[in-house]
Amino acid sequence: MNINLSPALDNFVTHGVRDGLFVSADAAIEEGLQLLARQTKLKQSFTVTSEDELLEKLDAGIASLDAGQGLPATQAFAMLRNQSR
């Protein structure tokens, strides 16, 4: 597969390989696509198409908390900060 990158992205990949951030251009693109796939999956898990679906997800979350499966707020916010980077 051949891809064409914008000059800015091409420069980013080239410098990333040169500076050791990536082992190769292929590795840089693969890592970027893995992040995009993870982000897409995460967004889909928070998307609802109806009020009923939203209520089901809220009920499931409350049941999870009631079962002791929750996280301390500081840990949850730290995880969210790390995911958004």
**Chain segment 58-75, per-residue pLDDT in tens:** 999 899 999 999 888 898
Share of the chain above pLDDT 90, in %: 59
pLDDT, position 84: 66
- Mark whether 43 and 53 lie in a shared domain: no
43 plus 54 within the same structural domain = no
Q: Backbone phi, then psi, for 7, in 5-degree steps? A: -55, -40
Backbone angles phi, psi at 70, to 5 degrees: -80, 170
Do 18 and 8 reside in the same domain of the chain? yes
* Maximum average pLDDT range among 39-43, 56-60, 75-79: 56-60
- Look up the domain containing 7 and give its range: 1-47
Phi, psi for 43 (deg, rounded to 5): -60, -40
Domain count along the chain = 2
Q: Quick check: 44 pLDDT over 90? A: no
Whether residue 40 is found in the same domain as residue 8 = yes
56 and 85 housed in the same domain: yes
Residues 78 and 38 in one domain: no
Mean pLDDT of 8-35: 96
Tell whether the model's pLDDT for residue 11 goes beyond 90.
Answer: yes
Same domain assignment for residues 39 and 3: yes
User: Looking at the structure, do residues 76 and 61 belong to the same domain, yes or no?
Assistant: yes
